[in-house]
Amino acid sequence: MIIQDIEYTERYIRITLDTGEYMRVDNSSVPPGLLHRGAAIDIDAYNHLKEESMLFECKEKALYYISIRSRTEHDIKKYLIRKGFDKTTISKVLQHFTERGLINDYDYAVRYIQSVREHKIIGNKMLEKKLFEKGVDKGIIKKAIRKTEDKEPDIEQVYQLALKKYNKVKDKEHPEEKVVSFLYQRGFNWEIIRKVMKKFGKNY
């Protein structure tokens, strides 16, 4: 195979072969001056360039994906699998991104918790569930929740939430039980629920 054309940019090298195939590789993956127009490449060199090209394209897809908004490692992995990249290439990209701080599930979890709590009164158990569904490790989730303890809703806030729910269901059967179920589904533990229901004059 012969290199028919080659273009150097700040970020990558674009190589066009005489077969009509073209590929992009990272500048750092090829020693300067090694490749040039008219150079012949054997099968080993071709396979190396193909592998580097796949790695470059995988990085590009991942960079685009995280440029839209923050993602967990699990989210990025699923996205790259959908795009057709093999597991070895994906693993290299994830490691590369993690080493450079582009993937950090702990920071993601902290920001996610802070963002949710700015807009919604929600318990830790629900936050744990949501983050676990996003592929965040349980140990990282618990660490992030401890980091954001000062942002947790106080009993009065939870009580006001429960009171709002109670006013909607007070004319139905067993309204207090419906409030308890509501709070539990919102992710609050039994200790918080008991304190809130005590303000209703109910012991649980």
Question: What DSSP assignment string belongs to 110-138?
Answer: HHHHHHHHHH----HHHHHHHHHHTT--H
Res 148: pLDDT: 85
Q: What is the pLDDT of residue 203?
A: 60
Phi and psi, residue 147, nearest 5°: -65, -30
* pLDDT value at residue 71: 93
3-state secondary structure of 2: strand
pLDDT over 70 (residue 32): no
Q: How much is the pLDDT for 82?
A: 96
Please state the rounded mean pLDDT for residues 21-47.
83
Which of 21-25, 36-40, 50-54, 195-199 bottoms out in mean pLDDT, i.e. has the lowest?
Answer: 36-40
Distances (CA, A) of 117 to 111, 113, 114, 153, 157: 10, 6, 5, 8, 12
If DSSP states are collapsed to H, E and C, what string results for 69-105? Answer: CCCCHHHHHHHHHHCCCCHHHHHHHHHHHHHCCCCCH
Contact 70, 108 (CB under 8 A): yes
Whether the pLDDT of residue 134 is over 60: the answer is yes
Please tell me the pTM assigned to this model.
0.77
Q: What's the token pair of residue 144?
A: 């992030």
Q: Which CATH number applies to 155-199: 1.10.3470, 1.10.287, 1.10.4100, 1.10.10?
A: 1.10.10
Dihedral of CA atoms 95, 97, 103, 104 in degrees, nearest 10, equals: 60
14-18 CB contacts, 8 Å cutoff, 24+ apart: 15/49, 17/41
Q: Is residue 204 pLDDT above 70, yes or no?
A: no
Q: For the chain, what is the mean pLDDT?
A: 89
Candidates 3.30.70.1710, 1.10.10.10, 2.102.10.10, 1.10.1840.10; CATH matching 3-99? 1.10.10.10
The answer, yes or no, to whether residue 128 has pLDDT greater than 90, is: yes
- pLDDT of res. 130: 93
As a whole-number percent, the residues of the chain with pLDDT over 90 amount to 47
What does the pLDDT look like over 141-172, one tens digit per residue? Answer: 999 999 987 777 888 888 898 988 888 888 88
Rounded CA-CA distance 81/87 in Å is: 8
pLDDT value for 137: 94
